Structure 1
Amino acid sequence: MTDLVIRPLVAGEEHVFDSMPDPLPQLRQVAYADGIAGGGYRPENTWVALRTGRVVARAAWLLPPGAVGAPWLERFDLDAEPEVGAALLRAAHEALGGPGLYLAAMPAHWRRRPEVLAVMEAPMAAARLAGLVERGERLRCSWTGTPLPATSGRYAFRPAADPTEINALVARIAEPDVLTGVEIARAVGGVDLATDPLAWLSGSISEWRIALDDGVPVGLVGPAGDACYPLIAYLGLLDEAVRSELLVEAVRVLAAGGAREVIADVDAHRVGVLAELERTGFRQLRSRVVFAPATGTPPAPAAQPGPAVAAGHLD
């Protein structure tokens, strides 16, 4: 690799990053130039590897304005052997104070798509060579107006009374079904969306719904129509039988507020939850494999972000 140049960008070099063709143009993501303009991407947090003047690897770490955590690797493309990508990551890690999270995004059903595997095998291998290990996979799903299934009428739904009621129910739910943006909440603000969703979500609680079976709470859902896009931020159950109808209720709340698309994230191993989302009309948009340092999870920041960060960056 003697002919290889690895370096960060400097201001005004957005064209260098963009000179490498996008290997997955079908993947919905923020353009690099837009990220620079918005302040989430920064030249000093963007690294490239050049071979005879051509960009063969690029990596961009992201940190939204106002966030207090460490940047995470959001874009990592490699048109060379994995060792080149690993060398780039090691150099950047040294400059950035150590390895952190890598959120490897790819189109849905990537394992069954040879053309996607051909793109992603090298950067994922490079991440492993650089000391990162897989910590799980998250699936993003989207509802775009499909007619909702009929409900049984067994359950009643009402708005949450106040934050105290929401927090009390959250404390009783060991593993929520849907947590949209959980990895970003943790990386940006050190917030665990599963146990303290209101610390991250800055909007009104008027959209939150409680499911009741004969007057007894059996589930809780937090639709968020005023986030960066309409989404189901939190869905947790005390009775799994209510899952399908609580999903329908959440979509109805958001659609009534004008949403034409609703986003929901689920852990890939939660096959029952994924199946219920699909029955409700959701379709997979993307997968995100989470890589973290082999020595442990990066330290959480000491403080939480303000509402502007929480409301605008749930991706």
Structure 2
Amino acid sequence: MADVVIRPLVAGEENLFDSMPDPLPQLRKVGYADGIAGGGYRPETTWVALRDGRVVGRAAWLLPPGAVGAPWLERFDLDAEPEVGAELLRAAHDALGGPARYYAALPAHWRRRPEVRAVVEAPMAAARLAGLVERGERLRCSWTGTPLPATSGRYAFRPAADAAEINALVARIAEPDVLTGAEIARAVSGVDLATDPLAWLPDSVGDWRVALDAGEPVGLVGPAGDACYPLIAYLGLLDEAARPELLAEAVRVLAAGGAREVIADVDAHRVAVLAELERTGFRQLRARVLFAPAADQH
């Protein structure tokens, strides 16, 4: 470690971060310069490891302006041994008040792609060495105009009556199928999208749809066409058989509003939900693996 210098950036050094080539250029991401301009990235919460003057590790913690939570590690790249990355994280954690969540963004199907694993295994090993614990994986999927499956006619759909009806149905759904942007909602506003989605999307009530079987509610979906991009913010079921048609209904609502792409996030272990997304025409865009401090149980 004697030949490695670890330190935060100082104002005016933003180009140093980008002097390290992007090891995963195929991933959609906000550029570091754009993040600095928007205020989410800051030099003092960006750390680098330098070997002979060359950046061999970089870590950028993100906190959008106005967010109520703590910064989280959004970018972490390593072209050195995991021990170097772990030392970088430990130094930053000490300076920033303790370890924070790390969302490792990865290309779709990354476990089956040796060339990707060769890039991501070192920073993930460094996170573990620095005391972070893997807590789960979420997949982002995208629909881009594939024809939707035909409906059976069994279910009817209507707009939600009001926020009270949405909240009452949400309270009955133990584990929603789709929660898009749940990490951002929690970090930025302290909102649990699974239990209080309207706190995150208060203006979306008119877009919500209720699935009915013989007049009884069996599912609820919250399309959001006016978010940062068209997405299915929430999809929850009281009858799993309604999943295919409720999912297709959400896409229809967004497509009718002009959406050419629809985004949906799902936990990787929800195999049946992922399969239904794929049958509806969604394709995986990326994965995000959460590493959290050992004391973080959320």
Q: What is the TM-score when the length of structure 2 is the normalising length?
A: 0.99
Q: Distance in 1 between matches of 2:79 and 2:87?
A: 13
Q: Look up the match of 2:214.
A: 214
Q: CA deviation at 1:297?
A: 4.0
Q: CA deviation at 1:200?
A: 1.0
The runs of at least 4 aligned residues of structure 1 exceeding 6 Å deviation read none
Q: Distance in 2 between matches of 1:135 and 1:36?
A: 28
Give matches, 1:35-184, under 5 Å.
35-184=35-184
242-251 vs 5-14, greater mean Cα deviation? 5-14
Q: CA deviation at 1:295?
A: 2.3
The answer to whether structure 1 residue 276 and structure 2 residue 276 are counterparts is yes
Q: Distance in 1 between matches of 2:257 and 2:41?
A: 32
Q: Distance in 2 between matches of 1:192 and 1:202?
A: 14
Residue identity in the other structure for 2:21: P
Q: Look up the match of 1:238.
A: 238
Q: Distance in 2 between matches of 1:165 and 1:296?
A: 33
Residue-pair matches, total? 298
Contact 2:67/2:187, CA 8 A, preserved across alignment: no
Q: Distance in 1 between matches of 2:224 and 2:76?
A: 30
Residue identity in the other structure for 2:8: P
* Partner SS state of residue 44, structure 1: helix
CA RMSD of aligned residues (A): 0.8
Q: Distance in 2 between matches of 1:243 and 1:109?
A: 24
* Partner SS state of residue 147, structure 2: coil
Q: Distance in 1 between matches of 2:247 and 2:12?
A: 46
Q: Look up the match of 2:5.
A: 5
Q: Look up the match of 1:311.
A: none
Q: Distance in 2 between matches of 1:202 and 1:261?
A: 22
Q: CA deviation at 1:14?
A: 1.4
Q: CA deviation at 1:242?
A: 0.4
Q: Distance in 2 between matches of 1:28 and 1:136?
A: 21
Q: Distance in 2 between matches of 1:13 and 1:261?
A: 36
Q: Distance in 2 between matches of 1:128 and 1:235?
A: 33
Q: Distance in 1 between matches of 2:203 and 2:272?
A: 29
**Structure 1 residues without counterparts, runs of 5 or longer:** 299-315
Give matches, 1:252-263, under 5 Å.
252-263=252-263
**Structure 2 residues without counterparts, runs of 5 or longer:** none
Q: Look up the match of 1:303.
A: none
Residue identity in the other structure for 2:243: R
Q: Look up the match of 2:199.
A: 199
* Partner SS state of residue 296, structure 1: coil
Contact 1:203/1:226, CA 8 A, preserved across alignment: no
